[in-house]
Every structure is written in structure tokens, then in C-alpha cells.
Amino acid sequence: MLRVFLLALLVTSSNVYSELMVEKKTFSAENFTTFGGKSIAQINVGWESYGTLNEQKNNVILITHYFTGSSHAAGKYHPSDSSPGYWDAIIGPGKAIDTNRFFVISVDSLVNLGVHDPKVITTGPASIDPATGKPYGLTFPVVTIRDFVNVQKMVLGSLGIDELYAVIGPSMGSMQAIDWAVAYPDKVKRLVSVIGSGQSDAWTTAFLEHWATPIKLDANWRQGNYYDSQAPIAGLTHALMLITQNALSPAFFNQVGKQQLAYQPLEKAPLNNILHDHSIVKWLKQRAQSRANLMDANHLLYLVRACQLFVAGHNGDLASAVKNIQAPTLFLPATEDLLLMPYHATDTHTLLQAANKSSQLSLLDGPLGHLEGVAGIAGHAELIRHFLTEPQGDKNE
């Protein structure tokens, strides 16, 4: 559930050469009604695409992004960009998600965390409410994973696209992917859930609340009314520190401590002064601070709530919801994931099998924890390629 703050450190992603040049496009709509029944006067979201839409418009793969991610799933905006989109290792000509065959599209979510990133287009609490001429703040309606799905459906509809060869997403993106297959089963031909879950259980909902707490405790938050004053950057930074650590593994942190920082429990500075941090804490804080200025604290709270509210189908019962799924499904949980632990995928996979649905599950082994499904995806490309290219009992392909 996070933007890869550590991308430059993760060899599996940073050394992949990108062959795609992409541009961000904008979709706008008026009077969007949320799942909760509230109206948003106008929404704007960004989207990107890779490959060519065929004449039948049946070669479309939708990529649904993770918590701190965006629609920048692959390629570069300019040849000089320091790094490509987060799944560039598997999206492109000849890659697992082959843009020589597929038209691949991804959409910025509502309340996207990177609202101040010039390459993100989103509507949320930081946007101007046309009724007041001021930022919405906490008057912005609560939104859900279903709302993200419905906005994506509108974007696809504007392009004349009515079916998906596949919907694929990691983490929060997997929630959207599963909800697509439940809400619009006749439109989804394949489903791939990477490091994901069919619902936010009690443990996960309480776990996610810890991401929101530092923001709410920051005196500059002011109940969300900070847009004309100092933003709660300290609270946001500490929230991002939590997210980063939760999404990685002890092995990764210990490797960084040993190989880069010469970390020791008895470091001199923290021994002599309670206000001084250990080297690993400073390392983590610096990486969070480097992202905080492009993000918005209220947006993080809304994303947390969308994830906390999630149960596929949004009817309160996952077991009955998955019975709607017609698409063959592939679950790819990560063995070392401490955020959305493998039981999340296994439980949903088991429910699908009990409902006599086509479901496969394969564990992603690797050292990156939750981020194995994002920054380590290159090592698991063939699992996805095989699922997309092997017959799955589809018709009219």
C-alpha cells in the first residue's frame, strides 16, 4: 500500500530499462455520486496507457495502483527520467504484460496521496470546492474502493471500452481488481490479485489506523483545516515512516543497517542524547521526508478509510460476493508480507474454490516483504505471463 520511497535502492526495479515513453492524460466528469450517496460536483483524474487498442477493443488490461502509487505503472515521461513507472519490469513490448498485444491502462485514484506531484491528477480534500471557492478539507465525502472502480469504469467508457481482458493490481490495487470482478463480472475476463486481500478484517482495520494517528496528533492538522496555513508535514512524515517500514521486511532493514549504515544498537549519539536518533531511524525519516512535500495529509486519511471500509462487493459478506466472480483468478501473496499477510489472499482463494470458481494461488518468495509485489515483481514475471497467455476457458478471444 505505498509509493516506493526506496526505489533507487531496489535493484529489481531501478536497473530495468524502459522502452516506453508515456504521457499523462486527464478525464473529467460532473456530478459524481459516491457509493455512500454523496455528490461531488466535478472530478478530475489522470490516466496513462501503453500499447494500442485493437479494433474490437477487447485487448484491454487495467492496472489498478497501490496506496501511495499513481497511474504511472510503466514507461517514462522523458528519456532523462531517473526511473520508470513502478511495474515497468513487467509492462512493455515483449514483457509479461506485453504491450505488443495488449492495450494497458491505469488511472489515478480519487484522493490520490500524491496530489502535489505535477504528474498526478486527482480530486480530493485538497481540491477546490466550487460551492465555496476553498479546499474541501474534511467536507469532502468519504470515498470507497468501489468509487475508485467506478471512476475507472467511466474513463474506460469514454474510450469506448466495455470489457477487460484482465484487471491486475497490487495491494490496494488488488482490492480494486477484486471489486471489479465482483461488481462487473461480465466485463472482467481475468483477475490477478498481487499482495492483496478480499476485505479489511478487524486486524487490518486497526493496523491501518496507526497510519492516520500521527497526522491527527500533529497540532498543524487543525481537524483538516490547514490549507491556508502550515500543513501537518511532521505528522505526515511519521505516517509515511510507518507505511514504509510496514511494507518492507526485517531482513531488508537489517541488510540496510549492516551494509549501508554500519548500524549498531549502542550508537554513540543516541547513547549520549535522548533527542538523537539511531542511524536506521534517520535513514527511514529522510526517505519519508523526501516524499511528504508531494503528498497531502488529508488525502492519506481518506485513503486509509477507503481501505478500512473495503469488503469486495461492498455488501458486507465476502463469501456471497465472490460467487459473482466469473473470471479465472490468480492470487500472488508474498511470503514475507507483514502488511497484507498471505492469509488474506488464501482466505479469498478458498472462498472462490468453495464456490466452484477457477482460482489459483502462488506465493511470491523474496526479501522485500509487502513490496515484493511491487519493487520485486520482475522476479515473478513468468507467473503473470503464463496466466495471461494460457487459455483460461475464455470465449471470443
Average pLDDT for runs of 10 along the chain of length 397: 40 49 97 98 98 98 98 96 95 97 98 97 98 98 98 98 98 98 98 98 98 98 98 98 97 96 97 98 96 97 98 96 98 97 98 97 96 95 95 55
Question: What tens digit of pLDDT does each residue of 304-316 get?
Answer: 999 999 999 999 9
Q: In the chain, what are the domain boundaries? A: 7-198+315-389
CA atoms within 13 A on the CB side of 217: 11
Rounded Cα–Cα distance for residues 223 and 379 (Å) = 43
Which pLDDT score, from 0 to 100, does residue 19 have?
72
Q: Report the candidate in 193, 194, 184, 144 with the shortest Cα–Cα distance to residue 164.
A: 184
The string of DSSP letters for 302-318 reads HHHHHHHT-BTTSSS-H
Reply yes or no on whether 98 is catalytic: no
Reply yes or no on whether 337 is catalytic: yes
Q: Are 293 and 233 in contact (CB under 8 A)?
A: yes
Which pLDDT score, from 0 to 100, does residue 58 have?
97
Model pTM score? 0.94
Residue in 13, 49, 171, 174 annotated catalytic: 171
Topology, domain 7-198+315-389 = Rossmann fold (3.40.50)
Question: What tens digit of pLDDT does each residue of 154-209 get?
Answer: 999 999 999 999 999 999 999 999 999 999 999 999 999 999 999 999 999 999 99
Residue in 108, 147, 218, 337 annotated catalytic: 337
Which pLDDT score, from 0 to 100, does residue 6 have?
45
Reply yes or no on whether 201 is catalytic: no
158 backbone dihedrals φ, ψ, rounded to 5°: -65, -20
Residue in 72, 344, 370, 380 annotated catalytic: 370
